[in-house]
Amino acid sequence: MWAYQILLKLLTPFIFIKLKRFADNHENYSISQALGEVESRISVDLWIHCASVGEVLAVRPLVAEWQRLHPQKKLLITTMTPTGAAQVDQLFKHNVQHHYLPVDFKKSVKRFLDKILCSKLVIVETEMWPNLLMQCQQNDIEVFLINARLSERSLKKYLKFASLSKKIMQIPKKICAHDGVDAKRFEQLGAKNVCVTGNIKFDLTVPNTVLESNWRSLFSDETLVWVGASTHEDEETLLCESHKVIKQHHLHALLILVPRHPERFEDVYKLAKLHFTRVAKRSEVSAENWSGYDVIIGDSMGELLSYYHCSDVAFVGGSLIKRGGHNPIEPALLSKPILVGEHTFNFKEITQGLIDEGAGLICHDESALASRLLKLLGDSSLRMSMGEKALFFARRNQGAVGRVLSRIGEME
Residues identified as active-site: 55
CA 28 to each of CA 92, 100, 291: distance values in angstroms, whole numbers, following the listed order: 16, 10, 35
CA 30 to each of CA 148, 184, 351: distance values in angstroms, whole numbers, following the listed order: 28, 38, 37
Q: Nearest 10 degrees: CA dihedral of 103, 147, 159, 112?
A: 20
CA 100 to each of CA 35, 126, 261, 333, 410: distance values in angstroms, whole numbers, following the listed order: 9, 17, 19, 31, 24
Distance of CA 173 to the CA centre of its chain: 24
Burial class (CB in 10 A: 0-12, 13-18, 19+), 169: buried
DSSP letter at 105 equals: -
- Residues facing 124 on adjacent strands: 146
E-state strands within 178-312: 194-196, 224-231, 253-259, 279-281, 295-297
